[in-house]
């Protein structure tokens, strides 16, 4: 703790302002061990001005947990209580940001009812949040897991209130529904919605805003035939060839992309998509197309990198983890 928690800048700033810290070696001060009845290590004991014990904590604390313990010891109020008071006194924009901070604190405590309340309040003021704080809201279901009781139920209620986007719906709201659906593990709902009519404007707008999320819905729900038809135009080899083409990666006007950067982009951004496509082909019995997609990827990135990516994607599609599809030249 001395190295990882007490040395954190914000913990040091707090102790400089509010307290004196003494780190005691139990072997050197058995009298203090006896006086404070210390039975586990490390033990934190907070003392008041009269040297009487105010609070105690046993076991390792991370820097955020240590700061919360210290502040509650000083004020008698938890960090959440302090944030609630600050929210009540703040202007709307500041209050919205503080609500996200309260959500983070409730998540740290794994306090499901408080998470539900904090998330609902933060969501209601999301229009005032920056992109990072809005991302915290959408990412909440993944962070708390599927069995968080009232917290998960609050997110589900919000998703239901948004409702399945209808033709002409606002693209930003539709994107929120897509993101929450995926975070709550309903990829099939997203795939069904998009596959209904991908030409409809709201769906196209959501795809433009968040291509990765819509693509992920088809992969996670294992809708291989539809993914190949809707995204690859029913020709996965031609689609793969287009993604791997040099002119598919463009820099800003007047700025050229080096060969090393182009290869990195292909490996980090394009290869995972081709791996998904390869898995979809195998899952739908299109072995020749799968071999063609793999051959195109290997021609640019090499066998080792491609095999690793394809192996991961095969598992996502419910295929055996070993790579056993035939190797042939692309069509």
Question: Which residues touch 292 (CB under 8 Å, ≥6 apart)?
Answer: 236, 237, 240, 328, 329, 330, 331
Confidence of residue 204 (pLDDT cuts 50, 70, 90): very high
Distance CA 190, CA 192 (A): 5
Helix (H, G, I), strand (E, B) or coil at 240: helix
pLDDT tens per residue across span 43-58: 888 888 888 887 788 8
Lookup: tokens for 252: 């800003």
Contacts 24+ apart (CB under 8 A), 128-136: 128/92, 128/93, 128/96, 128/97, 129/96, 129/97, 129/100, 130/97, 133/96, 133/97, 133/100, 136/100, 136/103, 136/104
> Is residue 330 over pLDDT 60?
no
Q: CA of 206: how far to CAs of 214, 222, 242, 252, in Å?
A: 8, 20, 22, 24
pLDDT tens per residue across span 283-294: 999 999 999 999
Confidence of residue 227 (pLDDT cuts 50, 70, 90): very high
Lookup: tokens for 95: 């209050």
Distance CA 25, CA 240 (A): 63
pTM over 0.75: no
Closest of 269, 273, 186 to residue 227, by C-alpha: 273
> Is residue 139 over pLDDT 90?
no
Distance CA 104, CA 98 (A): 10
């Amino acid at each position: 703790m001395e190295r990882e928690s007490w040395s954190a800048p914000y913990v040091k700033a707090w102790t400089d302002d509010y307290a004196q810290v003494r780190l005691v070696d139990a072997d050197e001060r058995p009298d203090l061990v006896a006086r404070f009845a210390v039975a586990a290590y490390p033990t934190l004991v907070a003392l008041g001005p009269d040297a009487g014990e105010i609070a105690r904590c046993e076991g390792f604390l991370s820097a955020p947990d240590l700061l919360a313990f210290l502040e509650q010891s000083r004020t008698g109020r938890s960090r959440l209580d302090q944030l609630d008071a600050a929210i009540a006194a703040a202007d709307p924009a500041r209050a919205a940001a503080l609500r996200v901070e309260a959500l983070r604190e409730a998540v740290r405590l794994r306090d499901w009812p408080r998470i539900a309340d904090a998330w609902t309040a933060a969501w209601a003021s999301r229009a005032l949040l920056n992109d990072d704080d809005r991302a915290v809201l959408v990412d909440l279901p993944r962070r708390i897991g599927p069995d968080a009781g009232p917290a998960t139920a609050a997110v589900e209620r919000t998703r239901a209130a948004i409702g399945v986007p209808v033709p002409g719906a606002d693209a930003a709201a539709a994107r929120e529904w897509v993101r929450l659906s995926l975070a709550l593990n309903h990829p099939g709902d997203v795939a069904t919605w998009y596959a209904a009519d991908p030409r409809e404007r709201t769906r196209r707008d959501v795809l433009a805003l968040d291509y990765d999320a819509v693509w992920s819905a088809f992969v996670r729900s294992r809708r291989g035939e539809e993914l190949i038809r809707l995204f690859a135009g029913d020709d996965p080899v031609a689609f793969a060839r287009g993604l791997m083409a040099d002119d598919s990666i463009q820099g800003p006007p007047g700025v050229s992309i080096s060969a090393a950067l182009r290869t990195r982009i292909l490996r980090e951004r394009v290869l995972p998509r081709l791996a998904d496509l390869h898995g979809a082909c195998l899952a739908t019995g299109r072995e020749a197309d799968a071999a063609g997609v793999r051959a195109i990827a290997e021609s640019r990135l090499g066998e080792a990198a491609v095999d690793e990516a394809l192996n991961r994607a095969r598992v996502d599609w419910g295929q055996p983890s070993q790579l056993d599809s035939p190797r042939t030249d692309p069509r």
